[in-house]
């Protein structure tokens, strides 16, 4: 008999933000297939005898090809296992969960999706940045700063988002941040628009840097910020100076 695969969001890092359903599935799973960004404290919640399969990537090092990950999930399920595919954040927000669900469906494998707290929501909340605010922002956009390298052209027209007037949340954008910010400004984003970089959000390594659109790339790099990080661009980022409740417990750097 075939087993089942649960595509589970582990949240941003703080184990307290894991959902009750995700916790229960971890405790009952036969196998955990997990990424690098899943916190060790969350993996420790799994049953001691559950098989753990690492398929992540760190700093350009080990990387399991997506097709191999999908093959692993299918093979484990066909062996009758209860499989938790554990992803940082939410599996359907820049987590490639859609691709894995498609592969499972094509193979006739039963699966379920268990949402998690996506990184942009958690990073902003822990940095004291309300993504919407009646006086400052009525729309939020999630964007990726790291697209499929095989694409002929970028699907993101950054200049268009520069004049949108929404809060922009950029995932995986540190490597290309200077280019992204330049293109946003070319599209009409004011150079003095507040911007924030939030690294390792919700964890003991949480750090944040608040600056402006014209300076954030250069200054955050000088301050030693890097992945994993979320970039928030918009007037609401300035509210962090008043509302950064979590930074008082860790390390906060402001320009």
Reported as a single tens digit per residue, the pLDDT across 150-163 is 455 667 899 999 99
- pTM over the 0.75 mark: yes
Residue with the bigger pLDDT between 177 and 57: it is 177
What is the average pLDDT score of the chain?
92
Q: Would you kindly state where each structural domain of the chain is located, as residue ranges?
A: 4-114, 119-254
Catalytic residue among 21, 30, 35, 87: 35
| Residue 233 pLDDT level (bands cut at 50, 70, 90) | very high
Q: Which CATH topology does 119-254 take?
A: 3.30.950
Q: Which residues pair with 253 in a beta bridge?
A: 209
Q: Which residues pair with 254 in a beta bridge?
A: 210
21 catalytically annotated? no
Residue 115 pLDDT exceeds 90: yes
User: What is the predicted pLDDT for the residue at 57?
Assistant: 67
Catalytic residue among 14, 21, 57, 175: 57
* Class of domain 4-114 (CATH, top level): alpha beta
| Residue 2 pLDDT level (bands cut at 50, 70, 90) | confident
Distance CA 123, CA 142 (A): 13
Asked if 13 and 202 touch (Cβ cutoff 8 Å), the reply is: yes
Smallest CA-to-CA distance from 36 within 7, 10, 16 is with 10
Distance CA 237, CA 131 (A): 8
Reported as a single tens digit per residue, the pLDDT across 56-104 is 865 555 678 999 999 999 999 999 999 999 999 999 999 999 999 999 9
Which of helix, strand or coil describes residue 103? helix
Q: Phi and psi (nearest 5°) for 209? A: -135, 125
Asked if 198 and 206 touch (Cβ cutoff 8 Å), the reply is: yes
């Amino acid at each position: 008999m075939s087993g089942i695969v649960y595509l589970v969001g582990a949240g941003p890092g703080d184990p307290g933000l894991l959902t009750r359903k995700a916790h229960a599935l971890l405790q009952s799973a036969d196998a955990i297939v997990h990424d690098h960004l899943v916190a060790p404290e969350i993996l420790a919640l799994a049953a001691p005898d559950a098989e753990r399969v690492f398929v992540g990537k760190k700093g350009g090092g080990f990387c399991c090809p997506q097709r191999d990950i999908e093959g692993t999930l299918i093979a484990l399920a066909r062996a009758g296992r209860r499989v938790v595919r554990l992803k940082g954040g939410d599996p359907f927000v820049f987590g490639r969960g859609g691709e894995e669900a498609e592969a499972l469906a094509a193979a006739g494998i039963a699966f379920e999706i268990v949402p998690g707290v996506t990184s942009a929501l958690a990073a902003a909340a822990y940095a004291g940045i309300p993504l919407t605010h009646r006086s400052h922002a009525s729309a939020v956009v999630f964007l990726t700063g790291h697209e499929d390298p095989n694409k002929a052209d970028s699907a993101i027209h950054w200049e268009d988002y520069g004049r949108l007037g929404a809060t922009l949340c950029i995932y995986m954008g540190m490597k290309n941040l200077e280019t992204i910010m330049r293109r946003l400004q070319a599209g009409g984003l004011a150079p003095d628009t507040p911007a924030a970089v939030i690294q390792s959000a919700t964890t003991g390594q949480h750090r944040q840097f608040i600056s402006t659109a014209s300076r954030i790339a250069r200054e955050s790099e000088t301050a030693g910020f890097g992945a994993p990080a979320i970039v928030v661009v918009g007037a609401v980022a300035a509210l962090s100076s008043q509302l950064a409740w979590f930074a008082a417990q860790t390390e906060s750097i402001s320009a």
